Amino acid sequence: MLQKQAKTHNEVPKQNITPIKNDYTQEQTLKKKINRSIQQKARRRMIVILLAGMLIIVPLAANIINNLFEIQTMGEKISQAKETNQTLEEENQDLKVQVGLLQDEEYIAKLARSRYYLSKDGEIIFSLPEDNQSKVAEKEALKEKSEQ
């Protein structure tokens, strides 16, 4: 019974309430409707502004992210180019040393004697098996290097 009284006490039947229809209540109702419509317009305006902002910000953010990825790939390409440049500079230095040696006639004569078994007048050349193995390995290394 207490529960039944509590329910009836909390619940107010709508049929028993009759609105007062005078100028003041009509004015207050009109003010509420106007305020509600103003708030709805403000919410709609805010939504339109947010959507317009999103339409501007999202492409810009996508462009920034794309540029960051491009910067990263360019950085990788630059580091690879630096590595390639360094190896080419080392190879260039080796070739300059070799050019310098090839301008020395004594070196050319020594090279011709060792590689092609050329000899000076009255000189006898003995070919040892270990010399042949090292020359075969040297020729294979030169072939591999030229293939690369």
Q: Which of 28-42, 106-120, 126-140 has the lowest mean pLDDT?
A: 126-140
Q: How many residues does the chain have?
A: 148
The pLDDT tens digits for 37-78 are 999 999 999 999 999 999 999 999 999 999 999 999 999 999
The set of long-range contacts for 130-135, using a CB threshold of 8 Å and a minimum separation of 24, is none
- DSSP-derived letter for residue 127 is -
Is the confidence at residue 1, as pLDDT, over 50? no
The pLDDT tens digits for 118-138 are 777 777 777 666 666 666 677
What mean pLDDT comes out for the span 106-124?
Answer: 78
Q: Give the integer Cα–Cα distance in Å for 93 and 119.
A: 31
CA angle, 134 then 140 then 141, to 5°: 90
CA R_g for the chain:
48
Decide: residue 113, CB within 10 A, 0-12 exposed, 13-18 middle, 19+ buried.
Answer: middle
Q: Give the integer Cα–Cα distance in Å for 89 and 95.
A: 10
Q: Give the integer Cα–Cα distance in Å for 124 and 126.
A: 7
What predicted TM-score, i.e. pTM, was given to this entire model? 0.47
Helix-strand-coil percent breakdown of the chain, rounded to 5? 85, 0, 15
